[in-house]
Amino acid sequence: MLGLLFLGLTARRDILHRRTKNVNPNSQVLGIPQHYGLFYAMGLALTMEGLMSACYHMCPNFSNFQFDTAYMYILAMLIMLKIYQTRHPDVNASAHSAYMVMAVVIFLGVLGVLYGNQIFWIIFTIFFLIMSVVLTVEIYYMGQWNIDLCLPRRIYHLIRTDGIGCFRPTYLERMLLLLIANLVNFTLAGYGIVKRPRDFSTFLLSIFMINLLMYTFFYVIMKLRHRERFQMLSLVYILLACVSWGCAIYFYLTRTTTWEVTPAKSRALNQPCVLLDFYDAHDVWHFLSSVSMFFSFMLLMYLDDDLSKRPRNQIFVF
CA–CA gap between residue 70 and residue 287 (Å, rounded): 18
Neighbouring residues of 262: CB distance < 8 A, sequence distance ≥ 6: none
- Provide the pLDDT confidence category of residue 108 given band limits of 50, 70 and 90: confident
The per-residue pLDDT for 158 is 63
Q: How far is C-alpha 28 from the chain's CA centre? A: 28
Indicate if the pLDDT at residue 260 is higher than 70: no
Q: What angle do CA 293, 297, 300 make, to 5 degrees?
A: 140
State the total domains in the chain.
Answer: 1
- Which residue range(s) make up the domain with 235? 2-24+31-116+196-314
Residue 164 lies in a domain: no
The mean pLDDT value of the chain amounts to 80
Indicate if the pLDDT at residue 223 is higher than 80: yes
Q: Which residues pair with 221 in a beta bridge?
A: none
pLDDT per residue as tens digits for the range 142-194:
655 666 566 667 666 666 676 666 566 666 677 788 888 889 999 999 888 88
Of 85-99, 102-116, 230-244, 258-272, the range with the highest mean pLDDT is 230-244
pLDDT per residue as tens digits for the range 249-259:
887 777 666 66
- Provide the pLDDT confidence category of residue 10 given band limits of 50, 70 and 90: very high
Residue 132 lies in a domain: no
pLDDT above 70 coverage of the chain, percent: 78
The per-residue pLDDT for 262 is 66
CA–CA gap between residue 253 and residue 285 (Å, rounded): 9
Residue 254 lies in a domain: yes
Indicate if the pLDDT at residue 104 is higher than 60: yes
The per-residue pLDDT for 215 is 86
Residue 64 lies in a domain: yes
The per-residue pLDDT for 295 is 92
Indicate if the pLDDT at residue 107 is higher than 70: yes
The pair phi, psi for residue 279, each rounded to 5°, is -105, 135
- Rounded to an integer, the average pLDDT of 68-78 is 83
Residue 287 lies in a domain: yes
- Rounded to an integer, the average pLDDT of 109-133 is 85
- Rounded to an integer, the average pLDDT of 1-27 is 86
The per-residue pLDDT for 177 is 80
Residue 128 lies in a domain: no
- Rounded to an integer, the average pLDDT of 296-305 is 89
Residue 47 lies in a domain: yes
Residue 66 lies in a domain: yes
| CB neighbour burial string for 264-300, b if at least 16 within 10 angstroms, e if fewer | eebeeeeeeebeeeeebbbbbbbbbbbbbbbbbbbbb
